[in-house]
Chain A
Amino acid sequence: MAINAIHLNQMPAFDYDKLLWGERQIRSVANMTRVDARDFLALARKLNIQPRVSVFSLDQANQALMAVKDETENGSAVIVP
């Protein structure tokens, strides 16, 4: 299992017998490499990945942040200057 989070307040306690015994593996994910970027962008092109987006102007940057914080939009917030 991979955990991709740049910030966590804390990890919850795990029940060893039920969750960790059995040589489970937990790995964190830190940043990315240029190889990741190039490989994924090639894949995005191949699969034509089109995420749903909500567009905000630069003047609306604070609203865009609040939309992410409050999860009020049904798409990724994107600022278009």
Chain B
Amino acid sequence: MKAAIFEPGKRSAAFHLRIEDVPRPQVAPGYVLLRVLACGVCRTDLHILEGDLPVLHQPLIPGHQIVGEVIEGASASLPLGTRVGVSWMGGTDGDCFFCQHGMENLCDHPTFTGYSVDGGYAEYALAREDFAYPLPQELDATHVAPLLCAGIIGFRSLRVAGVKPGDRVGSSASAVPRSYRFQCSIPGDARCMSLRGAKRTVLRLSDSARLGLVTKMPDRQWRWTVQSPSHQAARW
């Protein structure tokens, strides 16, 4: 199969990946083999390829926002042809303290898709069956792929921040593409806006009422948000 391969030490200054033919992954019990339909590119991929994160697996096929079709390893829960999404968490041990207490995101022995195991920059990808999410037909592959990390983990950020319907939410999303419409992910009547770096200040406010919220923000919080270097969701 064709795949984009990363090998530390073999990259040029400008290009991180080599496009090569490599053996197709072999399906194993508990896994499904996917024909990759789309794979989103995340800034975490750049962190991996640029050495900001330690090397866990090499050579590596990056990519952790995979939309694929089950072509082998089908089961009753994931029949042949099922379209699934695979995200950053590719597996957990299931029996550590964190997994046993509803915090599998902090698992002692996690598998990270496209980081500790091969990911979706390829024609085919292997995924744990219990970490593959059937996708609704309404969401096409190309458009659902970016939701599998930016969307899911952005959503988790809102949960962690304790956002509730009716809250005002600010988002400084320097690592998130301009198309990321933060307000779309809020259910109910949460009032939201997106901020993007000190230079652009305000991104895509959907109406003047939301724009008004910006001016109502206390100055100290406004400054804090726009100067922050990372993706943040804030309550105030």
Interface residues of A, Cβ cutoff 8 Å to B = 1-9, 12, 18-19, 27, 29-34, 36-41, 43-53, 55-56, 58-59, 61-62, 64-69, 71, 73-81
Cα distance A37–B180 in the bound complex, in angstroms: 17
Q: Is A58 touching B152 in the complex (CB atoms < 8 A)?
A: no
Q: Is A49 touching B131 in the complex (CB atoms < 8 A)?
A: no
Which chain B residues border A78 with CB–CB below 8 Å?
38-41, 142, 145-146
Q: Is B40 touching A44 in the complex (CB atoms < 8 A)?
A: no
Interface residues of B, Cβ cutoff 8 Å to A = 2-4, 14-17, 19, 36-47, 49, 52-53, 63, 85, 87-89, 102-106, 110, 120-123, 130-131, 133, 135-136, 138-139, 141-148, 150-161, 175, 177-181, 184-185, 187, 220, 224, 227-235
Which chain B residues border A33 with CB–CB below 8 Å?
89, 102-105, 156
> Interface majority SS on B: helix, strand, loop or mixed?
mixed
CB within 8 A of B89: which of A34, A56, A64? A34
Q: Is A36 touching B233 in the complex (CB atoms < 8 A)?
A: no
Q: A2-B233, A8-B230 are in contact. Are A58 and B177 (CB under 8 A)?
A: no
Cα distance A9–B47 in the bound complex, in angstroms: 11
CB within 8 A of B88: which of A32, A46, A74? A32
Which chain B residues border A74 with CB–CB below 8 Å?
177-179
CB within 8 A of A79: which of B121, B156, B181? B121
26 A-B pairs, CB-CB below 8 angstroms? Answer: A1-B232, A2-B161, A3-B231, A7-B47, A8-B229, A9-B229, A18-B220, A19-B224, A30-B106, A34-B104, A36-B152, A36-B156, A36-B159, A37-B152, A40-B155, A41-B85, A51-B143, A51-B147, A53-B142, A76-B145, A76-B146, A76-B177, A78-B38, A78-B40, A79-B41, A79-B120
